[in-house]
Amino acid sequence: IPGTAAWFHVWDNAWGQGAASSGKLYLVRGNYRFDVWVRGASPEAKLRARWRRAGESTFFDQTFQPGVGWRKFTVDFFVPEGMDRPGPYAPGEPTPGLILELFVPNDDVWVDDISLRRTDETNPTAFSDALVERLSELRPSTLRHLSRQFGGNLENQLAAPFARRTTGWHPANRVAQHYDYSLHEFLELCAEVGANPWYCVPPTWKAEDLEGLVEYLAAPLGPGRPWATRRAELGRTEPWTSAFDQVHLEFSNEAWGGASPSDPFWGWSMGGPEALAEIGHDRLGILRQAPFFRPARFNLILGANVNSPWVTDRIELGSSHHDQVALAPYFGHLERFANLGEIFLPLFARPFDDVDQGKFARIADIVEQGNNRTKLAIYELNYHTTRNPALPLDLRNDFVTCQAGAVTLPLYALEYMRAFDVEPICAFTALEYGFGIAQGQQVRLWGLLRDLEATGRKRPTWLGMELVNRAIQGDMIRTQHTGRITGWRQEPMNRVMHTVDVDHVQSFAFRDHKRFALVLFNLSLHRVLPVELQLPGMPEGTATLHSVHHPDIFATNEESEEVRIRTRTLQDFGDGTTLPLPPHSVVAITWRVR
């Protein structure tokens, strides 16, 4: 049809699909390159390529005449700042996506290896400067890779970009349509930002894939080692195990699920914990018995259901080849929300119920008493307010994106760490503006970043993690509270299952030789609480204080940056230093001793 694209690809269109409040999530600016291989059916055949923001700007529009043999065309172009306008957009305005279109104006053409990329990125990975910068600021100990790599094989996970096939096979989607970064590219990102990798191993891999994975990760170069050779061909000569403290390998993801059409991981799950234990024991056993596997360099994981201690019990009984059981203790349910106390006090209280009498404590007891002496990890942690149709959408969105998240997410993580030595702990997930719920509504989960390229703003959940990561170092050490201690008694409500007494001030401390750190939370909704510090050793005299606090607990970074990390130097720091802790705040202090 004249004037109609023969092929097109649309992206950055989330706001055109129900998340209109997001605005543009990617702004086109800077230097780009478009590459394509073309072959015509006749000498006169042509191909027209156009990249545009629908209804607004065209960034390039060019026609190629390849002839009858294959020919590569490259277009370098520059998009000035502001050509792709950031907005604002009024309600009801068009929500234009980005569209790459190919037109065939006369005779047939064949195309292959289409590439459109920005060329002025400076970091050495396949990922954008913006992502690498955000992750470097976060300083994560671990990055977890769960995408749609399931249904493929090791060959495809290590393929070069134009040799890489699509993935994402699913029983309800028999044609894999997802193109993703490779395992090698993921490991390069981990090395660049100083994080240990956590890789979800596809459940469909054959034994030779699993053995090859260990060789690729851990074997030095040598004859008869094709996967070590592949690693070198991709740019890494030394084994990856020399780059990281430990490589975490998890068998599938939520594989305890029912393996039915209602299971979100249908096609990945095993149909129950007994099957997971049996199959996981077998597959992790292949990893464990592979040449070059060294227990100190690998951590083998099976995932369990935090809401069902029985699942962990079955896994512990049926498998002995895993080192850890991983859980996802999401938080933040709102069945009652009449006032600030109902909204936020159960949110702050629940981790203490979890580790005292809740299901997390029961699972920890099962693991402690098991024959495998396994440990606990957390594979996902974040809000999970996606249910309760009576909850107004505005309140739901404010709840999951507000200042309280800077307190809550690190509070849960540190309390699990203190109570049960849980690590690693992974929050879910770096990027996602919103998640669709009933009647086309979007709740602003689960992205910890509001967006990456358009505004670059961090949600408070991310800020809380970033602040605490500035403090975590060495070993967690004990803290003790004396004097006038205030708190509240939380009755069962909003998934707090038992009555629990909670102190307003919570503290967590760390030591790495002469470096110390202290994380303080004030869980009071209204009161400034002063704390006087008594410190180990002899501080050098100054300390650095980082804090996340906003007077309005509902403050967000969705429309503008209201919540941020503030940093200042404390002079004359030592025994007797008194700090006023603002309400609903988190503070981290770092210092050295003589």
Tokens encoding 99: 């569209």
Distances (CA, A) of 538 to 15, 23, 517, 541: 55, 52, 14, 8
Q: What pLDDT sits at residue 184?
A: 98
pLDDT digits over 163-197, tens only?
A: 999 888 888 888 888 889 999 999 999 999 999 99
DSSP letter string, 492-513: SBTTB-S-EEEESEEEEEEEET
Among 405, 385, 410, residue whose Cα is nearest residue 395:
385
Per DSSP, the three-state class of 309 is helix
Q: What pLDDT sits at residue 268?
A: 86
- Average pLDDT over all residues of the chain: 94
Q: How far is 408 from 404, CA to CA, in rounded Å? A: 6
Portion of the chain with pLDDT greater than 70, in percent: 99
Q: Does residue 72 have a pLDDT over 90?
A: yes
Looking at per-residue pLDDT, the higher value among 389 and 496 belongs to 496
Q: What angle do CA 58, 61, 67 make, to 5 degrees?
A: 165
Give the Cβ contact number of residue 257 at 10 Å. Answer: 22
> For the whole prediction, is pTM greater than 0.75?
yes
Q: Does residue 29 have a pLDDT over 70?
A: yes
Q: What pLDDT sits at residue 147?
A: 85
Task: Please give the DSSP secondary-structure letter assigned to residue 178.
Answer: B
Q: Does residue 16 have a pLDDT over 70?
A: no
Q: Does residue 149 have a pLDDT over 90?
A: no
Looking at per-residue pLDDT, the higher value among 98 and 171 belongs to 98
